[in-house]
Amino acid sequence: MFRGGNQDAAEQGLQAAERVLKSGIDDSNVSSIKRLNLTPDAASSRILGIVAAMRALMASYRGDTAEIIPHARRALDYLPQDELAWRSTAAISLGDAHSYLGDMRAAYAAQLEAIDICTATGNLFLILYSNLNLAITLRQSGRLNQSLEICQQQMQQANENGMEHTAVAGWISAILGEVQAELNDLDGAIQQAKRGFELTEHAGDVMMLGWSCLCLARALFSRGDMSGAEELIQRMMDSARKSEVPDLAKLQLAAWQARIWLAQGRLDAASQWARERGLDAEGDLIYSHEMEYLVLARILISQGDLEEAIRLLKRLLEAAEAGGRESRVIEILILTAIAFQAKRNPDDALAKLEQALILAEPGGFIRVFVDEGPPMAGLLYEALSRGISPDYVRRLLAAFPGEEYGQAKPLQSRAPESDLIEPLSERELEVLQLIAQGLTNREIGERLFLSLNTVKAHTRNIYGKLDIHNRTQAVSRARALGILPPA
């Protein structure tokens, strides 16, 4: 019942079980107890353990950490050691509690224990479920490749055992899709995330459905399909009015909507959302609201409230570092760099960007940079000019879209290193700006007091450094990289 979103009915069932226990064991149920080879005390303990495990699981679906931990521990105390299925439920819920508190190190340790218990049950659903929790924790800890590998392994297990059309298989697809999106495999990401959403929606598991919706919304956002992401979020919010979609999923979906508004230039709508949510840059930071506060930081930057944004990001960074949430640490450092850039403090901006690059390169993070748009492209271009992580920065710059440039070529097929993106000289920037204004080579020469051959030489250099072949591509690529302002 509770998996389908009917929390009240599930709660009534648990209360009924507890009432039976309070009334004691009588003749009507003693025969059943004998068949299980249990004494009345052992039977009561077992049932209390099952009820506690169920309550822990229900609290986990709601994201209610205050309820998860006592119920899960009570379940483990009451349940016999051979009651593996229910003990695994309690162990999974304990791992969830640490995850909801934002402590990825504790979550990782608890989830490894849960996997051991689930494996001992031989129950494939529990094995898949516990491994997926670990994959999510690894993703949040910045270990993308390990998360990807676990998802692929569990997908193979599900397919080989006839579970490819179940909700848990959909959840695997969704998580796999989100990781692929970060690695910039957007076609594969959307295919997997859509499959995940469709499977979980059909199965009616509200927790898995909410998570799958988040994964698909993120993939669509990275693809630039803002209308598709908005439609999906609205569809999910409409569904949430009919069933008890977990609060955490609803909070994050609303935060994604606000981020979409920012990407669309609808600052007023995003600011109104922040006011309605009561978000305060100086208020207490709760992990379950972390994504909301990251959107608030983006709003503050867009509004020009840079000092306030930087203070908020500093507090968020300290919390993310303490919890071992390296993926968030990278995102926060990126936003801090953008804030310093807007404040016209390039040295601090590049220092924060360099920290982010050092953390992100081993995991192959791409979209966390690219999704920030032209401001990040401009910063990366400046980092390249200063020799900061040049190979990785080139990979990131190649992932930025351009209207005419098309998809970036694989690095191994690009020109030799000397012909790759290089910093433009001041004169080349002047020529590029006039190209963007539509001036001919002769007009540019007259404007800058240069000969026609000199203008052509500068133009060839610009083409080589941007790895393009004509004026239209040059302007489009320069705008995508933040060298020129958007059209």
Query: What's the pLDDT tens digit per position in 104-113?
Result: 999 999 999 9
Averaged pLDDT, 422-433: 85
- Maximum C-alpha span of the chain: 107
C-alpha span between 17 and 7 (Å, rounded): 16
C-alpha span between 3 and 57 (Å, rounded): 10
Give DSSP secondary structure letters for 279-303: --TTS---GGGHHHHHHHHHHHHHH
Least-confidence region, from 72-86, 132-146, 302-316: 72-86
Give 336's contacts (C-beta < 8 A, 6+ positions apart): 310, 313, 314, 317, 352
Question: Which is nearest to 45 in space by CA: 23, 11, 66, 21?
Answer: 21
Question: Which is nearest to 125 in space by CA: 185, 208, 183?
Answer: 208
Q: Give the tens place of pLDDT for each residue, 30-70.
A: 444 334 344 445 567 788 888 888 888 888 877 788 888 88
Give residue 80's pLDDT: 87
155-164 LR contacts (CB < 8 Å, sep 24+): 157/124, 157/127, 157/128, 158/124, 158/128, 161/124, 163/124, 163/125, 163/128
Averaged pLDDT, 115-133: 94
Going by the DSSP 8-state scheme, the letter that residue 24 receives in this structure is -
For 225, the 3-state DSSP assignment is: coil
Highest mean pLDDT among 150-159, 462-471, 476-485: 150-159
Q: For helices 124-140 and 84-100, what crossing angle results, to 10°?
A: 20
What pLDDT band is residue 443 in, cutting at 50, 70 and 90?
A: very high
Q: What angle do CA 443, 447, 449 make, to 5 degrees?
A: 110
Amino acid at 227: S
Give residue 485's pLDDT: 77
Is the CA virtual torsion 324, 72, 250, 125 positive or negative? positive
C-alpha span between 18 and 32 (Å, rounded): 17
On average, the pLDDT of the chain sits at: 85
Averaged pLDDT, 458-487: 83
C-alpha span between 216 and 35 (Å, rounded): 49
Q: Phi and psi (nearest 5°) for 389?
A: 40, 55
What pLDDT band is residue 133 in, cutting at 50, 70 and 90?
A: very high
Q: For helices 452-466 and 471-480, what crossing angle results, to 10°?
A: 50
What pLDDT band is residue 189 in, cutting at 50, 70 and 90?
A: very high
Q: Containing H/E element for 241?
A: none
Averaged pLDDT, 433-443: 93
C-alpha span between 384 and 95 (Å, rounded): 41
Highest mean pLDDT among 14-23, 245-254, 322-331: 322-331
pTM assigned to the model: 0.77
Indicate whether 180 pLDDT > 80.
yes
Q: What percent of the chain has pLDDT over 70?
A: 85
Question: Which is nearest to 368 in space by CA: 183, 204, 242?
Answer: 183
Inter-residue contact 453 to 422 (CB < 8 Å): no
Give residue 470's pLDDT: 87
Tally of residues, the chain: 487
Q: Give the tens place of pLDDT for each residue, 392-424.
A: 998 998 888 753 233 333 323 333 333 345 678
Give residue 226's pLDDT: 95
What pLDDT band is residue 83 in, cutting at 50, 70 and 90?
A: confident
C-alpha 390: how far from chain center: 26
How far CA 301 is from CA of 266, 304, 400, 482, in Å, comes to 14, 5, 21, 17
Residue 98 tokens, joined: 């640490």
Indicate whether 1 pLDDT > 50.
no
Give residue 406's pLDDT: 33
